Structure 1
């Protein structure tokens, strides 16, 4: 079972869950999640001889939630990873990220390859820095109703998701999974795209929903949403890394029913070696949706252990 503690990291206090001894493996969650999204990875990775640490990232769970939206840029998030490695008394780590955690992992490996023994991204591939700000491109491609644009409005999505966190988690966790049933019509807001499920799929229990609800009942959703409110700012800040490749050994895991596939280039798998010249493996999980390490824990654990053991 993972142990919990708080550490001073990059000017904030960060809550971490950790288990095992050996080479450090950092597990970075996405939105709207927490360390708990990696619950199935702790035991197998620790048993294989790794020190597994999953933080609540900035704005989430037991970690500080700065009020300033500008405190959630990609440079802050990479800085948190760099600071966490040092706070743990380590000199390097394998950095694994899912959803929003994946861009943090990719950018950490790109900006600080000296600290990254290996990098793995789940769901979200490394995205090239385009010629225009991402939200401009998203509006052109997907229209004004695209969820990332909706998330830009201060307080709006925060209130929608916070009105009933249990319904929000049941609807999004099932609705974005490989077990989702497409709705007959779309309602308003973000949650309007996802019907309230009559029952949970086998990979998700009511106790799991309880764990997420307990955290977000306490913290709200604004911290996580502030990551989205820096998307265009991140584009500005990462200009010095235009066309820079990610050099550490890399792994990519995705599901063929993940909505992120709809945002990615159709020739995604052909493009990956260009961004990841030391790509060691790609796993495309049939029937898997967005919540990769929760929906397909055994497959993800096998992929991670094969990658880790090869470093």
Structure 2
């Protein structure tokens, strides 16, 4: 009997933990933490493990809180879509009050953790939550321009790491912000292309032309080109301490060219398979260029 009770408790805790991961979107949150830590490594003169830990914990809390607030607001719409109807709130596994409690606790923990790094970092973290939940989320059912608004908080993490390391905002974190800002358009529109039918069930207007057509595909190509250009600007020595070697710039440009290839394929075929390939290429791109930036900095330092 005791074993059965313990087993039931373990299953309950396991389900609660699974719901926590789902409502905070653990994979998205981890990718954001990765971006912020890359930005920290680029900006730091001396690396502090405590600062990295605070940044990782605070960053996860802020992203998690944004996602929870988003799912509270959109719970009725989530219930209409196949990809979201089994989320904790619309499925009935978690109450709105419980979700709100989690969101508030994560917000407080996130702001406090980032404040221990410096007030600017906490401010940018708080701004990202406000823009994501109070501006981007309600606009998603009104206008495709919501993607532009959503790209603002989405571009903060890479920049946030630099600010956390230096307590300064200037050309360097501004450049990191612009890289991730322009990257989000081809990435998110590829995702929205794949899920367009499901998104329409919830009334979301996310594709720039409202359709899976050449106009949307052409805008994806244009933003991909802008992303490629901005990503290699530091090689010209005009972005302060944020520098790139010629080799690193060539690698990053080549990675962008791969992504551009898939963008042209989407323009040519205009199907979900091409959109999926572009989406996966975009995830690979943003991860690898951050790695290249960091490795390039430290290779220049040591060699």
Query: What's the TM-score once normalised by structure 2's chain length?
Result: 0.29
The structure whose residues are more often strand, as a share, is 1
The structure whose residues are more often helix, as a share, is 2
Q: Bigger relative contact order, structure 1 or 2, given CA contacts below 8 A and separation 6+?
A: 1
The structure with the larger Rg is 2
Query: What's the TM-score once normalised by structure 1's chain length?
Result: 0.28
